[in-house]
């Protein structure tokens, strides 16, 4: 086998890219800064588009076994508890888009991807040693690792997350932008009553804040994510602990259901939301970006992991199709992905607007219209995302 493709970062995107490239016949060398990128994070959502990417990686069944299949998403109002809109998921989502909708713990998705990549004979992993520098020329790319070693390869994929070291080489110096919001996450044990209720994702839409919860059935847990507009606290970290009492206070009294869930929070995590502005060019010569390193986005459409999985499949397909011209293949990959990820980012912000409306008149008008649309044409709210879930990365 010829020189390897180098992958910086072994998160969801890096592990998926390593596996996709290995399955396409490339040798892969993956470098991950953490010594043990194991249990971290909380729940995440995967729509049919992301599950189709997992199917391409041969992992749909493994992920299905660790996931729950929500039957619907409900948008509700704190106080009254009114259900403004309901989008059917479950069988309806699968029939319409050709793959199921999953909820699962990030650690479970990451373990499945990471172990599949590690077990592939074409993949060599170096853990606990991040990439500190990169360079590229006409015939290859090179990384310098934290321990001083230099490794060269056919191409280099920057999947090193929102604080990417490799991004500067492609996009110049542009730091991720603080999105003016703080996000809470927590996982609480599910009660017998929770387990007996159909698995639904509920979005409570408050003024300048919202709270989402859904069951992670395979773990008998409930995932809670709360987002609050604020300008003061800006720390971008997935592992920053928060005060459970402060999380409870942000959403106190919204409903008996949310008070009960929040009352069971013993450990809370918080992170300040950051995003990258969309890039028009995703590669420079033999270096390309993937996942959050390229298009970190707010979580209001629950597509961060999904976009990284799609990237991985499209990247491997483009490289496999143009082994004779790697730089061109990387350029094609970026061109195939940039409009879609920018649209997802924009749609994510539209949800932030919808979920956080403050003015009482606007709330009455927007939620009234949403409710009326749901009543007249129950499928309509879901169909506005046909463009998102019908995408198949194998065909892109």
Interface with ligand FAD (CB under 6 A) = 8-14, 31-34, 37, 40-42, 44, 106, 130-131, 159-161, 165, 185, 238-239, 291-293, 299, 304-305, 308
Alpha-carbon distance 174 to 177, whole Å? Answer: 9
Shortest distance, position 64 Cβ to ligand FAD, whole Å = 18
**CA 60 to CA 331: how far, in whole Å?**
29
Residue 387 Cα distances to 49, 129, 340, angstroms: 10, 39, 9
Inter-CA distances, 18 with 100, 139, 142, 293, 311, Å:
24, 21, 17, 16, 12
What lies within 8 Å, CB to CB, of 336 at 6+ separation is: 314, 318, 396
> 391 catalytic, yes or no?
no
- Least Cβ distance, residue 216 to ligand FAD (angstroms): 11
Other C-beta atoms within 10 Å of 330: how many? Answer: 26
Q: Which is nearer to ligand FAD, 310 or 392 (CB)?
A: 310
- Of 21, 299, 32, 287, the residue nearest 170 (C-alpha): 287
Paired strand residues for 203: 75, 212
Q: Which is nearer to ligand FAD, 15 or 84 (CB)?
A: 15
Nearest residue by C-beta to ligand FAD?
Answer: 11
Query: Smallest gap, in angstroms, from Cβ of residue 271 to ligand FAD?
Result: 8
Q: How buried is 223 (Cβ within 10 angstroms: 0-12 exposed, 13-18 middle, 19+ buried)? A: buried
Nearest residue (CB) to ligand FAD, 176 versus 371: 176
Between 303 and 317, CB nearer to ligand FAD: 303
10 Å CB burial of residue 344 (0-12, 13-18, 19+) is: buried
User: Smaller CB distance to ligand FAD: residue 239 or 395?
Assistant: 239
If the CB atoms of residues 84 and 292 are measured against ligand FAD, the closer one turns out to be 292
Please count the CA atoms within 13 angstroms of the CA of 173 that sit on its side-chain side: 0
CB of 195 to ligand FAD, least distance (A): 22
Give the integer Cα–Cα distance in Å for 333 and 338.
9
70: left (phi over 0), alpha (psi -120 to 50) or beta: beta
CA 46 to the chain's CA centroid: 8
Residue 186 CB, nearest distance to ligand FAD (Å)? 10
Supply the minimum distance, in Å, between the C-beta of residue 40 and ligand FAD: 3
Among 97, 101, 214, 389, which one carries the catalytic annotation?
A: 214
Catalytic residue numbers read 214
């Amino acid at each position: 086998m010829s020189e390897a493709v180098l992958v910086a970062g072994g998160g969801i995107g890096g592990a998926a890219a390593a596996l996709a490239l290995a399955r396409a016949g490339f040798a892969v060398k993956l470098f991950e800064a953490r010594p043990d990128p194991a249990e971290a994070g909380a729940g995440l959502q995967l729509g049919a588009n992301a599950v189709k990417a997992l199917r391409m990686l041969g992992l749909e069944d493994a992920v299905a076994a660790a996931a729950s299949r929500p039957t619907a998403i409900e948008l509700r109002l704190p106080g009254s508890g009114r259900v403004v809109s309901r989008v059917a998921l479950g069988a309806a989502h699968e029939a319409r888009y050709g793959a199921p909708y999953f909820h699962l713990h990030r650690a479970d998705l990451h373990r499945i991807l990471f172990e599949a990549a590690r077990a592939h004979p074409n993949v060599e992993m170096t853990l606990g040693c991040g990439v500190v520098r990169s360079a590229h020329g006409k015939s290859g790319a090179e990384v310098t690792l934290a321990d001083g070693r230099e490794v060269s390869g056919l191409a280099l994929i920057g999947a090193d997350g929102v604080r990417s070291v490799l991004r500067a080489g492609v996009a110049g110096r542009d730091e991720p932008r603080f999105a003016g919001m703080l996000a809470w996450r927590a996982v609480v044990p599910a009660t017998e009553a929770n387990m007996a209720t159909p698995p639904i994702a509920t979005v409570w839409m408050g003024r300048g804040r919202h709270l989402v919860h859904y069951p992670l059935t395979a773990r008998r847990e409930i995932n809670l994510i709360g987002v609050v507009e604020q300008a003061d606290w800006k720390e971008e970290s997935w592992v920053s602990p928060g005060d459970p009492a402060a999380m409870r206070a942000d959403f106190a009294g919204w409903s008996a259901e949310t008070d009960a869930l929040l009352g069971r929070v013993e450990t809370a995590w918080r992170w300040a939301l950051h995003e990258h502005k969309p890039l028009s060019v995703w590669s420079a010569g033999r270096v390309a970006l993937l996942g959050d390193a390229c298009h970190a986005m707010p979580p209001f459409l629950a597509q961060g992991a999904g976009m990284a999985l799609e990237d991985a499949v499209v990247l491997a397909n483009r490289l496999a199709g143009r082994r004779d011209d790697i730089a061109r293949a990387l350029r094609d990959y970026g061109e195939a992905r940039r409009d879609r990820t920018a649209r997802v980012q924009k749609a994510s912000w539209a949800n932030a607007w919808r979920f956080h409306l403050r003015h009482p008149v606007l709330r009455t008008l927007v939620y009234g219209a949403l409710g009326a649309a749901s009543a007249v044409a129950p499928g309509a709210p879901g169909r506005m995302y046909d463009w998102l879930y019908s995408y198949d990365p194998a065909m892109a």
